[in-house]
């Protein structure tokens, strides 16, 4: 049993980590102040192939499997989390549905531009009345001739303000209940009847823009139906499963960065005539952080491997996301405690991580939803 990543993936991971720490992090203050990711950083990400992580090479992507993608996501977690959020929302849930369910014509029309970063993607399922209760979505898609007419509202949609393509989940047959859901490829910037609302003002993850998306008699060509009509709740939510593994990997990377910052601070900060690293209370916190990192890393690596083997990972993806995001919350709190007053200051990366990490226990399925999925799977 091999627990180390293959050498080629370790090299890719090191390259992305270097980009995050030495190119993105120096611009972190700018991102925080403007709530925008500078164009130079987006172009740098494109040059590294980050937008095409899950896109096959024949369409201009990198074509990494789940293990490779998650290795990259862990490296991205060690830099600005808002920037990482833009990339991951695009490369995971924004892309995976099209790669898995798209027709050849759809793939050739969109994937090359998505791989280059020219067309940013997102996934639109959440609504004002249906967050965790995704089966209660109300956006309707009525077939009229050679198009579907969409009406409804999505909110908190990652990348919506900059997206060239959204995978939108809507109800095509209310009588079928959760089996009446369908997925559509929507180009929000050029489709009449699609409006992007006010950009959300979030606690953290600055630069990772989200917004409401409003559909008012928006006509979507029938050729933009993704997968079969009445795709169903199970298949639609399946798009989120791989995203959950990626979040576990990003969380692991964030924990690693927080531990590295904490160790560096503990070795140089002196109190009572010695570095605080000499105090057992600090040592215990560092040890607990390391345990959280190692267990989370083993979990995401196992689940990513299972994905690549074609195994059903619905339960284990929830296990990985729940564990890693909950552990990250504890690690972030410990990192602030180790840093003391400096960890509470706005110019501290620890303070930023403390705010940024909170979202990971909410989006793509709250911690409570993950526990429900796990429990129901065990009792089935």
**Angle made by CA atoms 195, 50, 44, in degrees to the nearest 5:** 90
Q: How far is Cα 320 from Cα 180, in angstroms, rounded to an integer?
A: 30
What is the full DSSP assignment across 291-302?
HHHHHHHHHHHH
Among candidate residues 127, 212, 351, 364, the one labeled active-site is 364
Q: How far is Cα 16 from Cα 160, in angstroms, rounded to an integer?
A: 25
Backbone angles phi, psi at 320, to 5 degrees: -65, -45
Q: How far is Cα 180 from Cα 13, in angstroms, rounded to an integer?
A: 41
Residues 163 and 185: beta-carbon distance below 8 Å: no
Antiparallel, parallel or unpaired: β 120-124 and 163-171: parallel
Place of tokens 């969109």: 110
CB atoms under 10 Å from CB of 285, counted, come to 21
Hey, what are 38's tokens? 């500078």
Task: Give strand pairing partners of 213.
Answer: 154, 196
Which of helix, strand or coil describes residue 228? coil
Residue 167 CA to its chain's centroid (Å):
15
- 201 counts as catalytic: no
Place of tokens 């793509």: 364
Backbone angles phi, psi at 75, to 5 degrees: -65, -40
Hey, what are 83's tokens? 């920037």
Backbone angles phi, psi at 40, to 5 degrees: -60, -35
Of all helices (H) and strands (E), which one includes residue 199?
strand 194-199
Task: Give strand pairing partners of 210.
Answer: 158
The residues annotated with a catalytic role in the active site are: 364
């Amino acid at each position: 049993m091999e627990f180390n990543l293959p050498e080629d993936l370790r090299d890719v991971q090191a390259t992305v980590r270097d980009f995050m720490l030495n190119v993105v992090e120096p611009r972190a203050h700018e991102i925080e102040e403007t709530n925008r990711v500078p164009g130079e950083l987006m172009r740098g990400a494109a040059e590294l192939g980050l937008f095409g992580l899950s896109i096959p090479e024949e369409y201009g992507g990198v074509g990494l499997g789940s293990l490779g993608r998650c290795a990259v996501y862990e490296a991205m977690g060690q830099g600005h989390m808002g920037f990482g959020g833009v990339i991951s929302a695009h490369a995971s849930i924004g892309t995976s549905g099209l790669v898995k369910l798209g027709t050849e014509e759809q793939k050739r029309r969109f994937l090359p531009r998505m791989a280059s970063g020219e067309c940013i993607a997102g996934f639109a399922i959440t609504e004002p009345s249906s967050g965790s209760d995704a089966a209660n979505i109300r956006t309707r898609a009525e077939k009229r001739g050679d198009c579907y007419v969409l009406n409804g509202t999505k909110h908190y949609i990652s990348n919506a303000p900059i997206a060239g393509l959204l995978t939108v989940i809507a109800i095509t047959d209310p009588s079928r209940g959760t089996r009446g859901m369908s997925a559509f490829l929507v180009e929000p910037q050029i489709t009449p009847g699609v409006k992007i609302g006010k950009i959300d003002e979030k606690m953290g993850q600055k630069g990772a823009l989200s917004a409401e998306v409003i559909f008012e008699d928006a006509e979507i060509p029938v050729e933009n139906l993704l997968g079969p009509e009445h795709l169903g709740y199970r298949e639609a939510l399946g798009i989120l499963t791989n995203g959950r593994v990626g979040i576990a990997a990003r969380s692991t990377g964030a924990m690693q960065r927080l531990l590295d910052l904490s160790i560096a601070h503990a070795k140089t900060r002196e109190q009572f005539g010695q570095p605080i690293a000499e105090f057992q209370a600090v040592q215990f916190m560092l040890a607990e952080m390391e345990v959280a990192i190692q267990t989370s890393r083993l979990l995401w690596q196992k689940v990513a491997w299972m994905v690549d083997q074609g195994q059903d990972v619905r339960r284990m993806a929830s296990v990985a996301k729940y564990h890693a995001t909950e552990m990250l919350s504890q690690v972030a709190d410990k990192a602030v405690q180790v840093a003391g007053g400096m960890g509470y200051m706005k110019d501290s990366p620890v303070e930023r991580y403390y705010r940024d990490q909170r979202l990971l226990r909410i989006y793509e399925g709250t911690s409570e939803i993950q526990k429900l999925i796990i429990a129901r799977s065990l009792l089935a």
